[in-house]
Structure 1
Amino acid sequence: MSYPSVLDMVLAELKRESGVLAVFLTGSYARGEADAWSDLDISVLVEADVFVRNTVAYRAGLLVSVERSTPSHRERAFTDPETALWNLGSLRSGQALHDPAGVFAALQERARAFVWVEVEPQAHARAAALLAGSTEELHKVMGGLQAGDVDKLAFALVGLTFALGNAALLGTGTLIPTENRYLSAARGAWTDPVWRECYACLTGVSGEGIVQRGRAALRAYERAVALTRWPDGPDRVQAQEAARRADAFLRG
């Protein structure tokens, strides 16, 4: 069965569900980037939390992902910076499939009019908290490198990949167009060449081994601390001390 036929079948079923306000297409099919392995992403706006749920299933050979959320949940993208990172792109590029009361159209209009400055103070505060909160992972990297414990090191690198990546995205207001491009978006958020090189190494996309990735993680953390616009508060002191220790470790 073809993609349009599967979409028509699923849409007909969704329109019969209780509490459905609107249905819109997101993901690679909405962007015109789908390949043979792409899932069909469908978002549903529902009346109340009781209808909120996600389902993933094969339909006529095509993997179909359906996300159900309330309009109020989607509206968090206009006030919460991390929600904005992940949701504004899909709201802006989504294609309405069923929107009898214009609920999705209103959300999309707000999303397209949104400017990052509206949440910038909260974004910088959250980036600062992420960096300060990553000091444990940073110490695990140093401990793993010192002891040659690759399991400990690899686990810490997972946490730092997203903590540093989110800090970069929040600090620059770089939206995530799709989760498939999260790493490239985070890597390119800051123009600093040391950040870009070290983050690429940390995440493994440039092909280095685990030890090189660990050392790159320490340097990426240093650069993130230097590049972040810090609000007043204790997070800056915490992160700067962690960066100093990472630098001393690398020099030692």
Structure 2
Amino acid sequence: MSIGDVLAKLVPELQTEAGVVAIFLTGSVNRGEADEFSDLDVSVLVRTVEFVHNSVCYRDGFLVSVERSTPEHRAQAFTDPVTALWNLFSLQTGRALYDPEGIFAELQVCARAVDRAALRRAGEAQACAQIADQAEELHKVMGGLSRGDEAKIIYALAGLTFSLGTAALLSTGELLPTENRYLTLARDAWDDPEWREAYSCLVGLTGASPRRRGLAALRAYVRAVTLLRWAEGTEQALAYGAAQRAQSFLTNKT
């Protein structure tokens, strides 16, 4: 049984579901990068939100992930930087499997015509909000480092990994072709050696101890605040205050 055989059976089944208007293929199979452990990613466009849900199952030995969403939700990727980060690439490159009304084709044309520069400008503001929102996690890291509480450090690192990474990606207008590349794309988003070294260590790509990863998280936060362009306001004040606190901690503890 091949992937093509699975799709040949799956697509007609999905077509019979209530509310379905289009079906398209995304993920590693569509990109030609699948291996024996890859899932088969199928996206379904439905008329209204009442039909929106996701499902995962095995079909003839293949793990099949079916995501259902409305065209309106998908179209948010044209203007919202966070939605674009996770969805725009799949809209631009997806392969139509069923599209009788041309709804997916229209979405794809719009996706390929998106003004990436405008998305990036909007993304910079959202990146700043992401960073400011992590002040509490930054304090958890410092508290864990002070008490030698590795569990507290690791817990806080989870939030910082994705908030700092998403901020870097949003501020540079990067798109995710696959979530599997999230960490490396976030690491390389800014052409800045200090950021890359600190973020790599923070997320565990270097095999460092929890303490070293915690210290790296502080450095990554400070560097992110430095690299972003801030508008004056409460978010800037919070982020700058947290960065100063982190830098003081680094100076006194290392």
SS class of match (2:216) = helix
CA RMSD of aligned residues (A): 0.9
Contact 1:124 1:231 in 2 (8 A): no
Give the deviation of 1:85 after TM superposition: 0.4
> Is 1:99–2:78 an aligned residue pair?
no
| Residue matched to 1:62 | 62
> Is 1:243–2:243 an aligned residue pair?
yes
CA distance in 1, matches of 2:205, 2:95: 32
Residue identity in the other structure for 1:241: G
> Is 1:194–2:170 an aligned residue pair?
no
Q: Deviations over 1:27-70 (max 9, x none)?
A: 00000000000000000000111111100000111100000000
CA distance in 1, matches of 2:88, 2:120: 15
| Residue matched to 1:143 | 143
CA distance in 1, matches of 2:230, 2:171: 9
Q: In the superposition, relative to structure 1, how do residues 232 and 120 fare at CA in structure 2: closer, same or farther (>3 Å)?
A: farther
Give the deviation of 1:176 after TM superposition: 1.1
Mapping 1:87-236, distance limit 5 Å: 87-236=87-236
CA distance in 2, matches of 1:185, 1:103: 31
Give the deviation of 1:241 after TM superposition: 1.0
Q: Which runs of 5+ in 2 are unaligned?
A: none
CA distance in 2, matches of 1:48, 1:92: 22
Contact 2:127 2:166 in 1 (8 A): yes
Give the deviation of 1:120 after TM superposition: 3.4
CA distance in 1, matches of 2:116, 2:136: 30
CA distance in 2, matches of 1:229, 1:106: 35
Tell me the TM-score normalized by structure 1: 0.98
| Residue matched to 1:5 | 5
Q: Deviations over 1:96-125 (max 9, x none)?
A: 101111110111111111122223343122
Contact 1:137 1:160 in 2 (8 A): yes
SS class of match (1:139) = helix
CA distance in 2, matches of 1:129, 1:5: 46
Residue identity in the other structure for 1:198: A
Residue identity in the other structure for 1:184: T
CA distance in 1, matches of 2:2, 2:174: 35
Q: Deviations over 1:8-39 (max 9, x none)?
A: 11111011111111100000000000000000
Residue identity in the other structure for 1:202: L
Contact 2:121 2:171 in 1 (8 A): no
CA distance in 1, matches of 2:95, 2:231: 38
Residue identity in the other structure for 1:22: A
| Residue matched to 1:74 | 74
Tell me the TM-score normalized by structure 2: 0.97
CA distance in 1, matches of 2:191, 2:121: 21
Q: Once superposed, which parts of structure 1, at least 4 consecutive aligned residues long, lie more than 3 Å away?
A: none
CA distance in 2, matches of 1:157, 1:148: 15
